[in-house]
A and B are shown apart, each in its own frame.
Chain A
Amino acid sequence: MNLLNFPKPLARFVSTLPSWPASRAFVAAGNLVAWPSLRDLDWSHVAGRRFRVQVSDLGLKLYFSVNANGFRALHNGLADVTFTATAQDFARLALRLEDPDTLFFNRRLLIEGDTDLGLMVKNMLDAVELETAAAGMPVGMGRVVMKLRHLALK
Chain B
Amino acid sequence: MPALLELICPAGSLPALKAAVDNGADGVYLGLKDNTNARNFAGLNFDAKALADGIRYAHNKGVKVLMALNTYPQPDTLSRWHQAVDIAATSGLDAIILADPGLMAYARKVHPNLRLHLSVQGSATSYEAVNFYRERFGIQRAVLPRVLSLPQVENVVNNTDVEIELFGFGGLCVMVEGRCLLSSYACGDSPNTFGACSPGHAVRWQQTPKGMETRLNGVLIDRYADDEKAGYPTLCKGRFDVQGETYYALEEPTSLNSMEMLPEMARLGIAAIKIEGRQRSPAYVAQVTQVWRAAIDAVKKDQAAFKPNPAWMAQLNKVSEGSMSTLGAYYRPWK
Contacts and interface: CB of A to CB of B under 8 A. Distances in A.
Interface string A66-77: 000000000000
Contacts of A106: 229-230, 323
Contacts, number: 100
A28 interface: no
Interface string B2-25: 000000000011111010000000
A121 B205 contact: no
Contact of A129 (B15, B199, B212): B15
B224 A112 contact: no
Given A96-B282, A99-B280, A99-B281, A123 B228 contact: no
Interface in A74-108: 84, 96-102, 104-107
Contacts of B207: 84, 110, 112
B12 A123 contact: yes
B210 interface: no
A102 B286 CA distance: 13
Given A105-B322, A107-B212, A96 B283 contact: yes
Interface of B is mostly: mixed
Given A119-B43, A127-B50, A110 B281 contact: no
A99 B321 CA distance: 12
B230 A115 contact: no
Contacts of B194: none
B133 interface: no
A26 B207 CA distance: 25
B43 A115 contact: no
A124 interface: yes
Interface residues of B, number: 41
Contacts of B204: 112-113, 115
Contact of B230 (A104, A116, A120, A129): A104
B207 to A, nearest CB: 6
A146 interface: no
Contacts of A110: 205, 207, 212
A106 B319 CA distance: 9
Nearest to A153: B286
A141 interface: no
B74 interface: no
Contacts of A126: 12-13, 15-16, 43, 281-282
A117 B42 CA distance: 8
14 contacts: A45-B42, A97-B283, A99-B280, A99-B283, A99-B287, A102-B283, A106-B230, A115-B201, A115-B205, A119-B42, A120-B42, A126-B15, A127-B13, A129-B15
